[in-house]
Amino acid sequence: MKPDTEIRIAGIVRESIVDGPGFRFTIFTQGCPHGCEGCHNPQTHDFNGGQVTTIGRLIEEISKTGLLRGVTFSGGEPFCQSKPLAELATEIHAKGLDVISYTGYTYEQLINGANDENGWLDLLNNIDYLIDGRFVLAKKSLLIKYRGSTNQRIIDVKKSLSTNTIVEFEL
Ligand code: SF4
């Protein structure tokens, strides 16, 4: 790990119970290109907003938080900072925690659009579950766990990558 690697974040929540199973340390990344109508986090859209921190500092904060099952990357759009988040995910796994990432892209868009520059595959290769797709106001539902609208899926990334299909998962 390069502890000085920078990540721009909007904020953190230490013990979230709404961003995946168990107690989770949630990192809200800063910057989002999707502009979904009805977005709950419009303050995370500006790519120059939020604050810059480092992987080392985030790992310290995660280590100080007890009883965690895992860490969730939310946003903002985590895949706009795939490379530093992939490094961070490796360190989180080394602590025995799982990693979930939200994204406004679909899994198919990430697979088909991945390249060396955006690092989308780096991040996909280092997370356990992906909650994908934009928030669609017309499909908003309060009945589905961890998601805002019914178009969004929970994807088992490791199984999906290894089988070259999309394996959905109910967390
Ligand atoms: S992807 Fe998420 S943060 Fe970005 S506009 Fe849509 S709901 Fe908001």
Q: Where are the domains of the chain?
A: 6-163
Nearest CA, atom 3, ligand 1: 76
With a cut of 90, say whether residue 92 has pLDDT above it.
Answer: yes
The per-residue pLDDT for range 68-91, each reduced to its tens digit, is 999 999 999 999 999 999 999 999
Kindly state the percentage of the chain with pLDDT values over 90: 96
If you average pLDDT over every residue of the chain, what do you get? 97
pLDDT surpasses 90 at 1: no
The residue whose CA is least distant from atom 7 of ligand 1 is 39
Which phi and psi angles does 63 have, rounded to 5°? -65, -30
| Ligand 1 binding residues, C-beta < 6 A | 32, 34-36, 39, 41, 44, 75-77, 104, 134-135
Pair of tokens at residue 54: 């480092």
Percent of the chain with pLDDT over 70: 100
How does pLDDT run across 2-22, given as a tens digit for each residue? 889 999 999 999 999 999 999
Neighbour order of strands in the sheet with 6-16: 51-54, 6-16, 23-29, 68-74, 98-102, 129-132, 153-156
Distance, CA of 98 to CA of 128 (rounded, Å): 6
Tell how strand 51-54 and strand 68-74 pair up: unpaired
DSSP state of 70: E
Q: Please tell me the distance between residue 161's alpha carbon and the centre of ligand 1 in angstroms.
A: 25
One CATH from 3.20.20.70, 3.30.1110.20, 1.10.20.60, 3.30.720.200 for 6-163 = 3.20.20.70
With bands split at pLDDT 50, 70 and 90, how would you rate the model's confidence at 38? very high
Residue ID of nearest Cα to ligand 1 atom 6: 36
